Amino acid sequence: MDQQSPGAAGLLSRDFTSVTSWRVVEEWVNRSVGLTDRSRCFGKRAVELATRNLGVTITIDPALPIAGELRITRDGLVAYLSSHQNEARRNFTIAHELGHASLYIYDPKLDQANGAIERFCNVFAAELLMPWAYIGALNSNSRSFAHTLLLLAARSEASLSSASIRMAEYLRGGSGLADRHGKIMRQYGSIPDRLRVGEWLLRIARERRATFTSVRLGWGWTLEAAFLGRRHVFIVYPAPTANALLSAAVPDRSPVALRADRPIAANSGDVTRL
């Protein structure tokens, strides 16, 4: 558990694949949203709350050549969004820009033009749209992790790919999408080759098992697949890790404090783009 605030630079130097780091991000996003319990605050609603709490204005710019951009103007923080993206993608883009805004409010001098910051903002967006606490709440009413994954995608209005990535991170395993014949199309996270997940998925599809299938792969790993009619979504996880994650306590000390009432630095109308 953190004894001191890690500061933005310390936070960004972390490896976000560890459970402890995820807890730091969870706290960071909680502060950005203004809630301590986000087990029922996710998706678009969470984005709206964070937008308001961080004092960010959203503007659609059809001419913007990239998905989104946060600009620091004399009027405050403005997130510009391209109009060429579907709703799931736009939610993620806004959430990503809110990550930049939260860092700016925390430390206006922080250099945000680098890959570590971009990765942090993606992690921030995933946690904002699909909170760790919300996944835990979904799990408690779910028959399997594959079922949780489908619920997560549907309710948080995230894409199936985003929800798959999130679940792989959550379980410290892997996930992906396969076609109706069981051939893997996309794969996320880390899946040891020895588990032969590709072969198992082909077999599951060939045998036309039930909508939800669970297979014990050995070495303590489990494969779950859900058949969606034209494709499969699958998730692979080590059981001991999954159990540890589900019982891990949330640190009670907040490592970061974010306030949106800090005056925005701007001079002579210059616009800083993040």
Looking at the Cβ atoms of 35 and 79, the one nearer to Zn ion is: 79
Compute the least distance from the CB of residue 198 to Zn ion, in Å.
34
Compute the least distance from the CB of residue 235 to Zn ion, in Å.
28
Binding mask 102-141 for Zn ion (x = CB under 5 A): ----------------x--x--------------------
Compute the least distance from the CB of residue 73 to Zn ion, in Å.
17
Looking at the Cβ atoms of 127 and 224, the one nearer to Zn ion is: 127
Compute the least distance from the CB of residue 97 to Zn ion, in Å.
7
Residues 6+ apart with CB under 8 A from 52: none
How many Å apart are CA 61 and CA 81, to the nearest integer? 6
Please give the structure tokens belonging to residue 100.
């930049």
β-strand 56-60 against 76-81: which pairing, if any? parallel
Compute the least distance from the CB of residue 115 to Zn ion, in Å.
10
How many Å apart are CA 38 and CA 111, to the nearest integer? 29
How many Å apart are CA 99 and CA 261, to the nearest integer? 16
How many Å apart are CA 22 and CA 18, to the nearest integer? 6
Looking at the Cβ atoms of 35 and 103, the one nearer to Zn ion is: 103
Q: SS3 for 231?
A: strand
Compute the least distance from the CB of residue 100 to Zn ion, in Å.
6
Residues that contact Zn ion, how many (by CB under 5 A): 2
Looking at the Cβ atoms of 115 and 229, the one nearer to Zn ion is: 115
Sheet holding 221-227: strands in order across?
184-189, 174-179, 231-238, 221-227, 212-218
Looking at the Cβ atoms of 121 and 128, the one nearer to Zn ion is: 121
Q: SS3 for 270?
A: coil
Binding mask 70-109 for Zn ion (x = CB under 5 A): ----------------------------------------
Looking at the Cβ atoms of 80 and 132, the one nearer to Zn ion is: 80
Q: Where does 107-191 have alpha helices with state H?
A: 115-129, 132-140, 145-156, 160-171
Compute the least distance from the CB of residue 99 to Zn ion, in Å.
7
| The Cα angle at residue 245 between residues 131 and 157, in degrees rounded to 5 | 25
Looking at the Cβ atoms of 2 and 118, the one nearer to Zn ion is: 118
Residues 6+ apart with CB under 8 A from 169: 17, 22, 126, 189
Which residues contact Zn ion by CB under 5 A? Answer: 118, 121
